[in-house]
Amino acid sequence: MMRAGEESDVWECTSCGYVEGRDAVEDAEMTTTQGQQKSEIVDVSDAEDQGLPTTSARCPECGNDRAHWYMQQIRSADESETRFFICTECEHKWREDDH
């Protein structure tokens, strides 16, 4: 994994220390770990106000039988999405993975 400081004009390998010059054109086309982290954030606060759908699902915390739900890709692209639930009563959050 190569990294660079904000003011740095080189890429440096975090394992072996190899150094390579940076190219502004190539850098603009690159996907960074910071960009990936930002795209994976899902705000589920006030789920009902966000328009999330509801379904029949038993909350493991309070036993309520209704929950808001959404799906998100959190693993590699060749694996199915993960379903997330938010209890309509106690707002407990849990997930359901396909195996």
Strand order, beta sheet including 10-13: 2-3, 10-13, 19-21
Report the C-alpha gap between 37 and 22 in whole angstroms: 22
CA torsion, ordered 97, 33, 24, 12, to nearest 10 deg: -130
The reply, when asked if residue 74 is annotated as ligand binding, is no
The reply, when asked if residue 81 is annotated as ligand binding, is no
The reply, when asked if residue 40 is annotated as ligand binding, is no
Q: Which distant-in-sequence residues (6+ apart) come within 8 Å of 21 by Cβ?
A: 9, 10, 11
The reply, when asked if residue 86 is annotated as ligand binding, is no
The reply, when asked if residue 20 is annotated as ligand binding, is no
Q: 66-72 and 54-56 as β-strands: parallel, antiparallel, unpaired?
A: antiparallel
The reply, when asked if residue 92 is annotated as ligand binding, is no
Binding site per annotation, positions: 13, 16, 59, 62, 87, 90
- Residues flagged as binding site for Zn(2+): 13, 16, 59, 62, 87, 90
